[in-house]
């Protein structure tokens, strides 16, 4: 991929790897490079490093940014709304309105309001990136919210009989998986709407390449549950990238996963900062007794210490996102058989190589594609055997028809299979459905349902209601649609249409018209493939044989519910399998 004329977005662009990627993208003549950091000072420092001249501060839709030549710098928390991006986590959790907003943004179905409010989506919408590099340590951002402490805090208040509303809300906002899934949902929509061509993640193993008993933890037990959660999130995100890459409309998705410490950004002597703040020097020269106190907390509170007014200054190595390390810490960390380290320049080189379609062998998504086991020739052969056996048994069986049990899911699958089965029993041939009048199809479907007790009873018993032509509803004791949280919603025309689409057998005229259009599209496509096969491609593998008679190479007009619904999922739901 040529960088000329391309817009580049670097999430985490103020970090070690992000800065080097930005430098290389500029050298490759990218049209524009937008970097995103957490804090404004990181952005201005990065712009000063990458380009000469004076930066100018601008506002885009009320959001401040810095510009310098082809560079634009944004800052803030990309996991929340634009309006909340500059608030700390403590501020967000301490504000009831902010907590409620974050809970709804995380747990409600993704909708346009949540999407448009997202800072991540806003960044994509403003920069329209062709190539995205994401070096944000997503796994760390999620795991170090520490769900374990949040759970114990909540449990402690429950045991003490206190009002747990606030702690319960905070606990909801430490659940990793819902936050990761929502982040990935927004990321996918943002890339699709922005026209992104390539997304490359700089991921993590969570342990710097070390094993289960990694000794480098933040005062946690070993093995560290928080650190293991970080690895779990890193792995979960990799598999989400895998299935994202298999979507029909996905950009190229790649991930590099360094398995060592990343170093370094600079070596110097000066003030040591932790979390962006200097460490004040304190001193204590009067020991206090440890025994005789009720708790170690009382001992620590009684310790006599005083700040000197100075701050900690020493020799350090700047490792970027991981902060300043002392000489001793760096020697330990980078020692043979410890984390060791990889330089940000090497990672950036691999990222650029992959962007230029030069395979490095380091793409995790490509490695997963090569490692997973897909469908097999043997499976394909045995499928025909299994289907033949099922059909033979169904002909002998006087029980309920084998249409759908609502075990595989989703309810839409069950609904479509029952509708296709009903049309098969009434018409048998797709051409007859296309030729009929919609009103006739609607009446025929409802009449069949009222006449055929077993079909009706099976459908209702597995949880699928039946919507009649007059708008009345047949429903069993158990229904899967609407969802439990929707049961209090009014049956407005829009809601009825939505529920019917999701999981009700729909015998109304409008659905009959939908089936006619569906069958017409299937027939047209099959006819086109049939013509090609008859014109000399009979022995070719170029065209698949779905809805084609294998003996005559003509169109097979038989209504086969399973194949029909598979076609719907592939063509209407855009759910085609893209890898084998």
Q: Give the CATH class of 7-99+109-149+176-260.
A: alpha beta
Give the rounded percent of residues in the chain with a pLDDT score beyond 90. Answer: 84
The answer on pLDDT for 482 being more than 90 is yes
pLDDT of residue 377: 93
Least confident interval from 162-166, 223-227, 479-483: 223-227
In 437-543, DSSP assigns E strands to 466-467, 473-474, 505-506
Task: Give the pair of three-digit tokens for residue 371.
Answer: 């490692």
Least confident interval from 99-103, 105-109, 295-299, 424-428: 295-299
Residue 539 banded pLDDT, cuts 50, 70, 90:
low
The answer on pLDDT for 193 being more than 80 is yes
Look up residue 97 and give its DSSP letter: H
pLDDT of residue 116: 98
State whether the Cα torsion 358-362-363-368 is positive or negative: positive
Q: Assign 26 to helix, strand or coil.
A: helix
Look up residue 537 and give its DSSP letter: I
In 155-303, DSSP assigns E strands to 198-202, 252-256, 261-262, 266-271, 273-274, 277-278, 280-286
Looking at the DSSP bridge assignments, the partners of residue 341 are 261
Mean pLDDT value across residues 514-540 = 89
pLDDT of residue 223: 76
The label of the residue with tokens 């701050």 reads 311
pLDDT of residue 572: 95
The answer on pLDDT for 14 being more than 70 is yes
By CB atoms closer than 10 A (0-12, 13-18, 19+), residue 390 is: exposed
The answer to whether 338 touches 210, Cβ cutoff 8 Å, is: yes
Pairing, β 304-311 against β 280-286: antiparallel
Q: Where in the chain is the domain with CATH 3.40.50.720?
A: 7-99+109-149+176-260
């Amino acid at each position: 991929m040529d960088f000329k004329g391309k817009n580049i977005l670097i999430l985490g662009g103020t970090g070690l790897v992000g800065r080097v990627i930005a430098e290389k993208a500029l050298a490759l003549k990218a049209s524009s490079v937008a970097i995103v950091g957490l804090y404004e000072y990181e952005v201005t420092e990065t712009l000063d490093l990458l380009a000469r001249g004076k930066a100018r501060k601008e506002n885009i839709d009320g959001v401040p940014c810095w510009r310098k030549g082809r560079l634009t710098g944004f800052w803030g928390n990309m996991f929340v709304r634009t309006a909340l991006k500059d608030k700390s986590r403590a501020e967000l959790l301490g504000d009831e309105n902010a907590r409620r907003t974050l809970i709804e943004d995380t747990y409600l179905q993704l909708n346009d309001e949540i999407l448009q409010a997202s800072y991540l989506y806003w960044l994509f919408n403003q920069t329209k990136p062709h190539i995205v590099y994401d070096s944000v340590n997503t796994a760390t951002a999620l795991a170090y919210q520490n769900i374990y402490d949040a759970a114990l805090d909540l449990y402690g208040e429950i045991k003490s009989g206190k009002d747990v509303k606030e702690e319960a809300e905070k606990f909801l906002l430490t659940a990793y998986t819902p936050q990761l899934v929502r982040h990935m949902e927004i990321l996918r929509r943002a890339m699709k709407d922005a026209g992104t061509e390539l997304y490359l993640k700089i991921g993590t193993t969570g342990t710097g390449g070390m094993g289960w008993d990694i000794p480098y933890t933040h005062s946690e037990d070993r093995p560290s549950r928080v650190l293991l959660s970080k690895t779990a999130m890193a792995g979960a995100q990799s598999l989400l990238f895998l299935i994202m890459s298999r979507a029909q409309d996905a950009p190229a998705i790649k991930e590099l996963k360094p398995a060592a410490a990343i170093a370094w950004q600079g070596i110097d002597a000066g003030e040591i900062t932790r979390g962006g703040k200097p460490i004040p020097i304190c001193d204590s020269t009067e020991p206090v007794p440890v025994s005789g106190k009720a708790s170690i907390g009382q001992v620590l509170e009684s310790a006599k210490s005083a700040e000197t007014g100075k701050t900690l200054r020493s020799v350090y190595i700047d490792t970027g996102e991981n902060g300043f390390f002392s000489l001793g810490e760096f020697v330990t960390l980078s020692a043979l058989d410890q984390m060791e380290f990889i330089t940000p320049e090497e990672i950036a080189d691999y990222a650029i190589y992959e962007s230029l379609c030069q395979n490095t062998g380091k793409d995790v998504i490509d490695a997963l594609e090569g490692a997973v086991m897909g469908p097999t020739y043997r499976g394909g052969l045995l499928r025909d055997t299994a289907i033949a056996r099922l059909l033979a048994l169904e002909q002998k069986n006087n029980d309920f028809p084998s249409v759908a049990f609502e075990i595989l899911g989703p309810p839409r699958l069950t609904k479509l299979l029952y509708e296709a089965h009903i049309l098969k029993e009434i018409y048998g041939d797709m051409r007859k459905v296309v030729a009929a009048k919609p009103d006739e199809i609607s009446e025929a479907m409802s009449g069949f349902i009222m006449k055929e007790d077993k079909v009706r009873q099976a459908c209702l018993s597995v949880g699928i209601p039946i919507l009649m032509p007059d708008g009345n509803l047949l429903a069993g004791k158990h229904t899967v649609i609407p969802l439990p949280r929707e049961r209090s919603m009014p049956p407005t025309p829009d809601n009825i249409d939505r529920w019917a689409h999701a999981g009700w057998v729909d015998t109304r005229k409008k659905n009959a018209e939908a089936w006619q259009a569906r069958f017409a599209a299937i027939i047209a496509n099959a006819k086109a493939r049939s013509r090609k096969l008859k014109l000399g491609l009979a022995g070719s593998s170029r065209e698949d044989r779905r809805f084609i008679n294998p003996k005559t190479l003509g169109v097979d007009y038989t209504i086969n519910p399973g194949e029909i619904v598979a076609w719907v999922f592939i063509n209407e739901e855009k759910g085609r399998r893209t890898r084998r």
